[in-house]
Amino acid sequence: MQVFKFGGASVKNAAAVRNVAEIIKKHHSNELVIIISAMGKMTNAFEKLIKSYIEKSDDFNENLFYIRRFHLVMVEELFISTDPIYIELESLFLQISKFFSENKNVNYDYIYDQVVGYGEMLSTKIVSGYLNRSEVENTWLDARHLIQTDFQYRSANVDWTETCQNIQNAVSKPTLYITQGFIGSATNDTYTTLGREGSDYSAAIFSYCLNAESMTIWKDVPGVLNADPRYFENTSLLERISYREALEMAFYGATVIHPKTIKPLENKNIALHVKSFVDPDAKGTVITKGVAIFPENVCYTLKENQILLSITTKDFSFMIEHNISHLFKFFAENRIKVNLIQNSAISFSVCIEDMYSQFNNLKSVLAEHYNLEYYENVKLTSIRHYTAEIIKQYEHSNDVVLIQETNEVAQIITK
């Protein structure tokens, strides 16, 4: 069994869908499961729609129209005008409208998870239909009925036993399967999502449950590079890296792989290939257990929109275990991600990421006990396999707020 995953960029327009179909045709097999994300920037478009619903803004209809139009234009380019795909998409749009008109729940995260995954539902219907019409027979699966989760909306936790049972039962005959990334459900009709960019993780869940031989994620880059080409010049391809290397890079901002993807693959020793959908015959990157990074390169990752928060005790008492555990309780309760820690006798500094807009809450609870100082909008650069010369260059920059070095990685916070 093999698992492929195609992300939003790979299906952003009709030409891209045709390209994906070509890649699938080439690897056509009855032991292949394909996970697909929402098309192009459709998840962002759904987020905008949900926001306008919650704010009861006048843009709501326009936002819905935009999403509808995007998919209809795509379908008009890929199918004949009498194709049943039009009815299938209409039925999905009806479900979306029905939810909005009947919903009474005011919880933003709940509403978000009931709607945002329709981007994936629409894209997989289109790709599956297009493949079927192009003589690549396939079975479409609703991942919401397979990935069983808890109720933690927007970053749900997977129930592995249930999920594996569901997936093994669903993927039981020799055929090509197409399904969605990103989505699951807590009960039959309470949908959840695995977090933004979570489709890589979905593919890893399928790979794990099916004991796949390998998993391939198809990207708009040649593979895992030593740095994100959007932010760094002269990047180069890493041909082989270990799960550990990939996990560290992903955790600190190499968005080419969702950080949760690695563990399920590592547990079952499933090789992860990162390949280019633009140049599908090129080698790409292979990620396996324990291999030394090749070629040996310095690797850079960057995280923007970080907050450097410095916390000091009010009464000059030491910042010791008791206070620190107290702080982490607040971080966890507010779903704050901590990317760097530095402490001294009476102060504790953290570089944090506020993914769920909880920083104001956090500040008000912490301010009851501690003095706070913070810089918003700082950047965190992590440099793996760094050299002393590289750090020297940073030391001379006025923008640097903090440098922390360990054996393997240097972390630098800049304004």
Question: Footprint of Mg ion on this chain (CB under 5 A)?
Answer: 7, 197
Is residue 255 involved in binding ligand ADP (CB under 6 A)? yes
Token pair recorded at residue 1:
């069994």
Opening angle at CA 30, ends 29 and 31, nearest 5: 90
* Burial grade of 377 (CB within 10 A; 0-12, 13-18, 19 or more): exposed
Using the contact rule CB under 6 A, the part of the chain among 130-138, 170-178, 197-205, 229-237 near ligand ASP is 197-205
Cα 182 from Cα 189, distance rounded (Å): 16
Q: Does 198 bind ligand ASP (CB under 6 A)?
A: yes
Query: CA-to-CA distance for 182 and 117, rounded, in angstroms?
Result: 7
Hey, which residues between 66 and 125 contact ligand ASP (CB under 6 A)?
119
Say which residue the tokens 């292949």 belong to.
Answer: 32
Cα distance between residue 92 and residue 112, in whole Å = 16
State which of residues 7, 129, 223, 253 lies at the interface with ligand ASP (CB under 6 A): 7
Question: Which of positions 1-20 make contact with ligand ADP (CB under 6 A)?
Answer: 7-10
Q: How many residues bind ligand ADP (CB under 6 A)?
A: 18
Give the residue with the Cβ less far from Mg ion, 197 or 245.
Answer: 197
Q: Binding mask 213-232 vs ligand ADP (x if CB under 6 A, - otherwise)?
A: ------xxx--xx-xxxx--
Answer left, alpha or beta for residue 223, where phi above 0 means left and psi between -120 and 50 means alpha.
left
Asked if 35 and 210 count as a contact pair (C-beta separation under 8 A), the reply is: no
Q: Quick check: 181 binds ligand ASP (CB under 6 A)?
A: yes
Q: Where does residue 291 rank: exposed (0-12), middle (13-18), buried (19+ CB within 10 A)?
A: middle
Q: Least distance to Mg ion from the beta carbon of 331, Å?
A: 26
Assess 256 for contact with ligand ADP (CB under 6 A). Answer: yes
Closer CB to ligand ASP, 37 or 185, in the complex: 37
Footprint (CB under 6 A) of ligand ADP, residues 324-353: none
* Binding flag, residue 197, ligand ASP (CB under 6 A): yes
Q: How far is the CB of 214 from Mg ion (least distance, A)?
A: 21
| Contacts to ligand ADP from residues 24-53, by CB under 6 A | 37
136 contacts 28 by C-beta, under 8 angstroms = yes
Among positions 2, 8, 170, 362, the unique one binding ligand ASP when judged by CB under 6 A:
8
Question: Comparing C-alpha atoms, which of 179, 183, 207 is closest to residue 195?
Answer: 183
Write down the least CB distance from residue 266 to Mg ion, Å: 21
Count of residues interacting with ligand ASP (CB under 6 A) = 12
CB of 199 to ligand ASP, least distance (A): 3
Backbone angles phi, psi at 62, to 5 degrees: -65, -40
Q: Please, which residues have CB within 8 angstroms of residue 86's CB and are 6 or more apart in sequence?
A: 75, 79
Per-residue x/- mask for ligand ADP, residues 94 to 133, rule CB under 6 A? ----------------------------------------
Sheet holding 400-405, edge to edge: 337-343, 347-353, 299-313, 370-384, 409-414, 400-405
Residues forming contacts to ligand ASP in the complex (CB under 6 A) are: 7-8, 37-38, 43, 119, 181-182, 196-199
